[in-house]
Amino acid sequence: MKKTTLLVFLMIISLGYAQELVINGDFESGTMSWYGNALNPVDDGSGNFVNQAEITTAGDPWNVNISQAVSLIDGASYTFSFDAYTATGTTRTIIVGIGNAGAPYGANVVTETLTDVKTTYTYTMDANYGDVGASRVIFDMGADTGFVFIDNVSLLGATSTCNNGVMDGDETGIDCGGSCDACVMAPTMAAPAAPARPEADVVSIYSDSYTGNIAFDNFDAGWCGGAAVNGIMIAGNNTLEKKPGIDCHGIDFQSDRQDLSDFTHIHFDFYTNDTDLAGDVFNVKLVDFGGGGSESSALEVNINGGTMPQLVANQWVSVDLDITALGGIVTGSLTRSDIAQIGITTANVTNVWYDNIYLHKNTLLGIEDFNKTVFSTYPNPTKNSWTVKTESTKMTNIQLFDVLGKNVLSMSPNSRETKIDASNLKAGLYFARINTEFGTSSIKLIKN
C-alpha cells in the first residue's frame, strides 16, 4: 500500500518541485481516499495506525488490492517509499504497480518479500506507462495470503539536475547540455549596428540605435498562445529571443497608429542556429486598419531558404527593403497610412533572435553631421559619478553595461550634459551606450 501511495504522489507532483502526492500515507486519518477491500487502518499497539491488509483466500493478482486514482505525467520520474512488515515469524509477498483500474503495466511493477522486521522500501520509477488518463497506484499480495502492515507511504517527483535551475552535474549551461537537453546557444555577436539617420526619418519599433517613437498598447500581444519573446542582452545590445513553441509575435499600437506612407524602407536583422532550415520562414507583416477597428490590408515581407535575402544559419541576416512597390519578397498591399500592428511569424524556426526593427526614408547623416557628436567625460576613473558632455547635440538615452553585458543603469537625459551616478556600482570597467540624434556611440568608464 505504501508503494501505491507513493505512486499516487508521483502522479500529482509538479515538475521542478519535490511535492508529496500521497493522501493519508500514515493511515492516521479515519477518512481516506484509498480504494479496495484490503483497506483496514489499525492501531499497531503503540498508538500509531498502520494499514492492515489481511488476505485469507488467494485470488488472481490485482483482484485483491488497495489503490488510489492519480494523474501521472507520462515520461516523468518519481520516487516512492513506504514502511512494511508482516506478522511475527512470517514472510509475505507484496506487489506495487501503476496502471488503470485493472492490472498495472509490467515496467512499473515491483515485488518485495516482507519479514516481521519493519523496513523502509524506496524506488524510483519513470511513468512510461502508456496511459495519460486517470490511472491507479495499486498494492496487492498476488497469490499470497496472510497479514501485511503498511505505513508512512510517500510519493515524490524525483529531483533532476536538468530542471533545478542550477548548472550542475555534467551540464554546460543552466539545466542543459551534458546528459540534459542541448543548450540553446545565443549568438555571441550583436546584430549589426544601424547607420546614423536623421531622427525624423526613422520610425523605430525595436532598436538601441534609434529613439523609440511609438506608444505601444502591447509589445507582446500573445497572438499565438502566449508571450512570444524574451528580451536578452547580446554583447551589450538589447535583442529579442523567440520563446520555444510560440510561432508569432504580435506588436500592437492601435492607440498610436502610424502614417508610414512616406517611409520607403523596412529594416530588420535576425539570426538562427537551426540545423534544418527546410520549411523555416521569417515573416514581418505591417497591418493597416484603414481607419477601422481591425485589419483592412497588410504588407508582408517573407524570408525563407530560397529568397534573397536568404534565411541562413549561424549568421546575422540584415534585411533592408524598398516597400514603395510590390515584387519579390514584398507582397500584399502598399497601403500604410494607418498602421496599427506589426506581426512577426517564425514558422518552423526553432531558435531565432532578432533586432533593429524600424522603417526609414533611406536617408543618412553626412560625415560632418556624425562627427558633431564629440563626448567629453570626467572624472574617469571616478568614485562617485561621471559627467558626460557633448558639444552640439542632446543625449537622448544612456545605457550603462558591466563587462558581462548586464544593463546596470538606464537614463534619458535629453540634454547636452548629464551625470551618471556610480555610487552604487562595484569597482570595475563599464560601457556607456549613448544615443543622440546623429547616431549611437559607446564610451568606456572606470569606477574606482
pLDDT at 261: 97
**What homologous superfamily is domain 199-360 in, according to CATH?**
Galactose-binding lectin (2.60.120.430)
Taking the CB of residue 127, how many other CB atoms lie within 10 A of it? 24
Q: Which of 105, 90, 92 is nearest to 143 (CA)?
A: 92
Check whether 418 has a pLDDT greater than 70.
yes
The pLDDT of residue 123 is 81
Question: What residues does 440 pair with on adjacent strands?
Answer: 435
How does pLDDT run across 373-398, given as a tens digit for each residue?
577 899 999 999 999 998 777 888 88
How far apart are alpha carbons 126 and 405 in whole angstroms?
Answer: 41
> What pLDDT score does 291 carry?
96
The per-residue pLDDT for 436 is 76
DSSP lists the bridge partners of residue 270 as 317, 354
Residue 249 is predicted with a pLDDT of: 97
Selected residue with higher pLDDT from 445 and 438: 445
Confidence of residue 31 (pLDDT cuts 50, 70, 90): low
Mean of per-residue pLDDT scores for the chain: 81
Cell numbers at 47, concatenated: 498508538
Please identify which residue in the block is written with the cell numbers 568606456: 444
CA 68/CA 35 separation, integer angstroms? 6
Identify the band that residue 99 occupies on the pLDDT scale cut at 50, 70 and 90: low
Residue 429 confidence (pLDDT): 87
* Residue (of 356, 444, 362) closest to 402 by Cα position: 444
Cα–Cα dist 267/360, whole Å: 8
Q: Which of 190, 191, 218, 159 is nearest to 340 (CA)?
A: 218
Average pLDDT over residues 184-210: 88
pLDDT > 70? residue 103: no
Q: Which CATH architecture has domain 2-157?
A: Sandwich (2.60)
Predicted local distance difference test score (pLDDT) of residue 352: 96
Which pLDDT score is estimated for 407?
76
Confidence of residue 344 (pLDDT cuts 50, 70, 90): very high
Predicted local distance difference test score (pLDDT) of residue 59: 62
User: Given this model, what pLDDT does residue 64 score?
Assistant: 55
Q: Per the confidence metrics, is the pTM higher than 0.75?
A: no
pLDDT (mean) for 408-422: 89
Residue 443 pLDDT class (50, 70, 90 cuts): confident
Do 315 and 271 meet the contact criterion of CB atoms below 8 Å apart? yes
Kindly tell me if the per-residue pLDDT of 6 is higher than 50: no
> Amino acid letter at 350?
T
pLDDT at 15: 33
Residues 226-263 have pLDDT tens digits of: 899 999 888 888 999 998 889 999 999 999 999 999 99
Whether 2-157 and 199-360 share one fold: the answer is: yes
Please tell me the distance from the alpha carbon of residue 98 to that of residue 4, in angstroms, as a whole number. 8
pLDDT at 128 over 90: no
Cell of 43: 492501531
The SS3 assignment for 172 reads coil
Distance CA 426, CA 358 (A): 35
Q: Is the pLDDT of residue 207 over 90?
A: yes
Give residue 5's pLDDT band: very low, low, confident or very high (50, 70, 90): very low
Q: What are phi and psi for residue 245, nearest 5 degrees?
A: 80, -5
Mean pLDDT of the 165-174 span: 76
Nearest to 402 by CA among 436, 435, 448, 445: 445
Res. 303: pLDDT tops 60: yes
Strand segments, DSSP code E, in 87-181 are: 92-99, 104-114, 119-126, 135-140, 146-157
| Mean pLDDT on 304-323 | 93
Task: Give the pLDDT of residue 19.
Answer: 53
- Give the pLDDT score at 294: 96
| Contact in structure between 297 and 173 (CB atoms under 8 Å) | no
Domain boundaries defined on the chain: 2-157, 199-360, 367-447
pLDDT for residue 157: 66
Is it the case that residue 372 has pLDDT exceeding 60? no
Element (H, E) at 7: helix 2-12
Q: Taking 80 as the threshold, does the pLDDT of residue 296 lie above it?
A: yes
- For the stretch 257-260, contacts whose Cβ atoms lie closer than 8 Å and that sit 24 or more positions apart, written own/partner, are 257/289, 257/338, 257/339, 257/340, 258/203, 258/214, 258/339, 258/340, 259/336, 259/337, 259/338, 259/339, 260/203, 260/286, 260/336, 260/337, 260/339, 260/359
- Candidate ranges 4-13, 161-170, 262-271; pick with highest mean pLDDT: 262-271
Domain 367-447: CATH architecture, name and number where available: Sandwich (2.60)
Diameter of the chain measured on Cα atoms: 100
Arithmetic mean of pLDDT, 350-362: 95
Residue 371 scores a pLDDT above 70: no
Give me the pLDDT at residue 20, please.
63
> What stretch of H or E contains 367?
helix 367-370
Residue 301 has pLDDT above 80, yes or no: yes
